């Protein structure tokens, strides 16, 4: 029989997660000796060492890894219980852990604002990361839900499409091609390109289209940020392919235009994703339902902005022709 308290499990879990007594103490607002003593008492109760120390870093033993997994299950079940009890009382409260890829940061916060106002008892933890790290987090079940456009092929997942994610060719507003219609990919290949970093879902979609048409492009720059790419386009360093969702009214949209290129836009989808075997919490299910309902409003806003740019493009072309 293991004689241990829930508090000891919490102290151990924080220590295991950080690999440090000091950092666990900072998180839990305890002193370092208190954390060390709690772990020592838990170790004595189990009768097996839970950590081995190499330098200043703590590493889990086999018994420690098993206990760490068990603690995560316990805390997850307790959190689910709290959410269900609140739901029984007619309230929605708890924590939503959401991870999104970088391009989704342009619209997810705008959806979260009204959601949090509607459900003030729900706290949201939002992680913004690149595609590869989002997949790692998904594989390790670190969050409740994930928003991405390129789905992993090697993980058993449930997917919920909720919003279009068209990829378009962007150029400076004064670019010579801005006055042309139905630009061929061959013509486009003569222009210097600015690409997202390797591993980006956007880059993979562009490369698939180019390879399918046997087209090579001249990559002048590789950048890991949509904002950096938009600034580089505005600065005349080249053209690029980005999601329409990066065209925000408050950004530098006035300096950019969408080129009318054959094969574009590349039609993609935004998905909400979770592990196939995962049972969603009340809070996660509530957000999923909300997202599906509100995505139509967001889609209309994006379409309006895109139409404004294209309309402006046609107006500029007509004025040049005259």
Q: How many Cβ atoms from other residues are within 10 Å of residue 226's Cβ?
A: 21
Identify the residue with better confidence: 194 or 246: 194
84 within domain boundaries: no
User: What whole-number distance in Å separates Cα of residue 316 and Cα of residue 145?
Assistant: 43
Residues 105 and 29 in one domain: no
Average pLDDT over the chain reads 83
Backbone angles phi, psi at 175, to 5 degrees: -65, 140
SS3 call for 299: helix
Q: Which helix (H) or strand (E) holds 202?
A: helix 201-212
Across the range 47-74, mean pLDDT stands at 88
Average of pLDDT values for 160-188? 88
Helix axes 108-118, 282-321, angle to 10 degrees: 140
CATH, residue 101:
3.40.190.10
CA distances from 37 to 15, 56, 106, 126 (A): 12, 17, 46, 33
Helix (H) / strand (E) containing 221: strand 218-223
According to the model, what pLDDT value does residue 6 have? 87
Instruction: Check pLDDT > 80 for residue 86.
Output: no
pLDDT digits (tens, 9 = 90+) for 114-170: 888 888 888 899 999 988 889 999 998 889 999 998 898 889 999 999 888 889 999
CA dist., res. 235 & res. 171, Å (int) = 10
Asked, for residue 149, whether it belongs to a domain, the answer is: yes
51 and 98: one domain?
no
Asked whether residue 202 falls in the same domain as residue 261, the answer is yes
Is residue 274 domain-shared with residue 255, that is, in the same domain?
Answer: no
Rounded mean pLDDT of 250-257? Answer: 66
CA–CA gap between residue 180 and residue 190 (Å, rounded): 15
Structural domains counted in the chain: 3
Rounded to 5, what percent of the chain is helix, strand, coil? 50, 20, 25
Mean pLDDT of 292-300: 72
Sheet containing strand 167-172, strands side by side: 240-243, 167-172, 256-258
Note down the domain range covering 173: 167-267
Per-residue pLDDT at 54 exceeds 90:
no
178 and 220 share a domain?
yes
How far apart are alpha carbons 138 and 155 in whole angstroms? 9
pLDDT at residue 309 tops 70: no
pLDDT band, residue 102 (cuts 50/70/90): confident
| Length of the chain (residues) | 322
Q: In terms of domains, do 159 and 274 share one?
A: yes
Whether 316 is covered by a domain: the verdict is no
Q: 171 pairs with which residues across the strands?
A: 257
SS3 category, 222 = strand
Of 85-89, 170-174, 279-283, the least confident? 85-89
- Does the pLDDT of residue 295 top 80, yes or no? no
121 domain residue, yes or no: yes
Domain annotation covers residue 81: no
Average pLDDT over residues 19-48: 90
Do 210 and 255 share a structural domain? Answer: yes
**CATH number of domain containing 47:** 1.10.10.10
Residue 228 covered by a domain: yes
Q: CA 129, CA 225: separation in Å to the nearest integer?
A: 11
| Residues 15-25, mean pLDDT to the nearest whole number | 90
320 within a domain of the structure (yes/no): no
Residue 181 shares a structural domain with residue 255:
yes
Measured distance CA(97)–CA(95) in Å, rounded? 6
Domain co-membership, 235 together with 258 = yes
**pLDDT on residue 143:** 92
Q: Are residues 155 and 192 in the same domain?
A: no
- Does 100 share its domain with 38? no
Question: Which residues face 60 on adjacent strands?
Answer: 51
In a domain? residue 313: no
- Does the pLDDT value for residue 90 go beyond 90? no
245 shares a domain with 207: yes
More confident residue, 54 or 125: 125
């Amino acid at each position: 029989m293991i004689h241990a308290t829930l508090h000891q499990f919490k102290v151990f879990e924080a220590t295991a997660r950080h690999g440090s007594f000091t950092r666990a103490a900072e998180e839990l607002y305890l002193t370092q000796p208190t954390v060390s003593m709690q772990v020592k008492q838990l170790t004595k109760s189990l009768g097996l060492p839970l950590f081995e120390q190499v330098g200043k870093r703590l590493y889990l033993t086999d018994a420690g890894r098993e206990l760490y997994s068990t603690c995560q299950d316990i805390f997850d079940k307790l959190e689910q219980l709290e959410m269900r009890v609140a739901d029984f009382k007619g309230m929605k409260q708890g924590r939503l852990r959401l991870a999104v890829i970088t391009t989704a940061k342009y619209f997810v916060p705008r959806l979260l604002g009204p959601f949090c106002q509607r459900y003030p008892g729900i706290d949201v933890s939002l992680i913004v990361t690149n595609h590869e790290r989002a997949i790692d987090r998904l594989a390790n079940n670190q969050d409740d839900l994930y928003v991405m456009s390129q789905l992993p092929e090697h993980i058993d997942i449930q997917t919920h499409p909720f919003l279009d994610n068209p990829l378009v060719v962007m150029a400076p507003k004064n670019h010579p091609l801005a006055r042309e219609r139905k630009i061929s990919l061959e013509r486009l290949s003569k222009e210097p390109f600015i690409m997202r970093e390797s591993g980006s879902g956007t880059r993979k979609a562009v490369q698939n289209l180019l390879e399918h048409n046997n087209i090579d492009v001249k990559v002048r720059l590789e950048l890991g940020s949509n904002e950096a790419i938009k600034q580089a386009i505005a600065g005349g360093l080249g053209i690029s392919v980005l999601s329409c969702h990066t065209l925000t009214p408050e950004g530098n949209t006035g300096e950019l235009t969408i080129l009318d290129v054959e094969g574009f836009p590349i039609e993609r989808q935004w998905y909400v994703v979770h592990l196939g075997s995962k049972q969603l919490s009340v809070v996660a299910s509530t957000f999923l339902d909300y997202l599906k309902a509100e995505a139509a409003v967001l889609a209309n806003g994006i379409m309006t902005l895109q139409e404004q740019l294209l309309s402006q493009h046609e107006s500029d072309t007509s004025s040049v022709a005259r």
